[in-house]
Amino acid sequence: MSICKIEILEHHTGELGEAIQHEDHLVESECYHYDSGSVLEVAVHDDIHEEWHIFTDMDSGHRFKIEPAKYRRLG
């Protein structure tokens, strides 16, 4: 697993738990959001699929999925 920084290009929201790739995870009702311009240090879980890329935010520990068009890698 690699670590990188990404910049959020468009406001992004979702529900915690939706990016966990296991059938037995608990469904979370807590939502997360990232504002446009946010820079995050993330652990990369999956960045090869066309529709969704999956990261863990190293500050919050939240695993989230995001469309590739909504962020860009830095550095």
pLDDT at 27 over 70: no
Overall average pLDDT of the 46-75 stretch: 93
Q: What is the pTM of this model?
A: 0.82
Determine the structural domain holding residue 51 and report its residue range.
Answer: 2-74
Taken in order 70, 32, 13, 18, the sign of the CA dihedral is: positive
Q: Kindly state the average pLDDT of the residues 32-60.
A: 94
**Is the pLDDT confidence value at 31 over 60?**
yes
Domain count, the chain: 1
Mean pLDDT, residues 20-42 taken together = 77
Torsion of CA 58, 1, 51, 39, to 10 degrees: 30
- CATH code at position 21: 2.30.30.40
